[in-house]
Amino acid sequence: MRAMLLAAGMGERMRPLTEARAKPSLPLLNRPIIAHTLDHLKRYGVDEVVINLHHQPESIRALVGDGSRLGLKVHYSEEPIILGTAGGLKKAEPILRDAGSFIMINSDFVSDCDLGAVVARHRETKAVATLVLTPPRPGTDYGVVEMDDRGRILRLAGNPPGDPDPRAGRYTFTGIHILEPEIFDAIPAKGKAEINGEIYPRLIGAGKAINGFIHTGLWRELGTPLFYIEGSLAWLKEGKDRSLEPLRASEGVYLDHVTVRSDVHVESPILVGRGVSVGPKSSLGSVVIGKQVRIGKGCSLRSTIVWDGARVGDGARLSECIVTSGVYVPPAVTLSNKIILRVEGLQGKKRLERLGGCWVASF
Percentages (nearest 5) of helix, strand, coil residues in the chain: 25, 35, 40
State pLDDT tens for residues 290-346: 999 999 999 999 999 999 999 999 999 999 999 999 999 999 999 999 999 976 555
pLDDT band per the 50, 70, 90 thresholds, residue 144? confident
Reported for 200-205, long-range contacts at CB under 8 A and 24+ positions apart, including other chains, are 200/129, 200/153, 200/156, 200/159, 201/155, 201/156, 201/159, 201/160, 202/160, 203/128, 203/129, 204/153, 204/154, 204/155, 204/160, 205/160
List of residues 6+ apart from 132 with CB closer than 8 A = 113, 118, 173, 174, 175, 176, 177, 178, 212, 213, 215
Q: What angle do CA 213, 215, 216 make, to 5 degrees?
A: 145
The predicted structure's pLDDT at residue 312: 98
- Among candidate residues 15, 12, 64, the one with its CA nearest the CA of residue 35: 64
* pLDDT value for 307: 98
Q: Band the pLDDT of 136: cuts 50, 70, 90.
A: confident
Q: Does the structure show a pLDDT above 60 at 17?
A: yes
The string of pLDDT tens digits covering residues 205-241 is 999 999 999 999 999 999 999 999 999 999 999 988 8
Residue 280's pLDDT band (boundaries 50, 70, 90)? Answer: very high
pLDDT band at 198 (very low <50, low <70, confident <90, very high): very high
pLDDT score recorded for residue 157: 74
The mean pLDDT of 259-283, rounded to a whole number, is 96
Residues facing residue 117 across a β-bridge: none
Residue 231, pLDDT score: 97
Angstrom distance (rounded) from CA 73 to CA 233: 31
Q: Which domains can be identified in the chain, with CATH numbers?
A: 2-223 (3.90.550.10), 246-362 (2.160.10.10)
Closest by CA position to 200, among listed 127, 134, 136, 142: 127
CB 29 within 8 A of CB 236: yes
Task: Give percent of the chain above pLDDT 90.
Answer: 83
Please check the confidence at residue 363 and state whether its pLDDT lies above 80: yes
Residue 343: per-residue pLDDT: 63
Query: How many Cβ atoms from other residues are within 10 Å of residue 341's Cβ?
Result: 23
Mean pLDDT of the 349-360 span: 76
**Separation of alpha carbons 298 and 316, rounded Å:** 7
Distances in whole angstroms, Cα of residue 215 to Cα of each of 51, 78, 153, 210, 288: 24, 32, 15, 16, 27
Across-strand partners of 355? 358
**pLDDT given at position 125:** 96
Of 76, 84, 72, the C-alpha closest to 59 is 76
pLDDT of 342 reads: 79
Banded pLDDT at 356 (limits 50, 70, 90): confident
Question: Reduced to 3 states, what is the DSSP secondary structure of residue 258?
Answer: coil
Asked whether the beta carbons of 60 and 75 are under 8 A apart, the reply is: no
Cβ-Cβ contacts under 8 Å for 199 (sequence gap 6 or more): 86, 183, 186, 187, 193
Q: What is the pTM of this model?
A: 0.92
- Reply yes or no on whether the pLDDT at 282 is more than 70: yes
The confidence score (pLDDT) of residue 164 equals 66
pLDDT digits (tens, 9 = 90+) for 31-70: 999 999 999 999 999 999 999 999 999 999 999 999 999 9
Report, as an integer, the average pLDDT of 152-156: 92
Which residues fall within 8 angstroms of residue 319, CB to CB, at 6 or more apart? 300, 301, 302, 303, 304, 335, 336, 337
pLDDT at 348: 52
165 pLDDT more than 80: no
**Burial label, 170 (beta-carbon count in 10 A; 0-12, 13-18, 19+):** middle
Q: What is the mean pLDDT of the chain?
A: 93
Give the C-alpha separation, 321 to 312, whole Å. 12
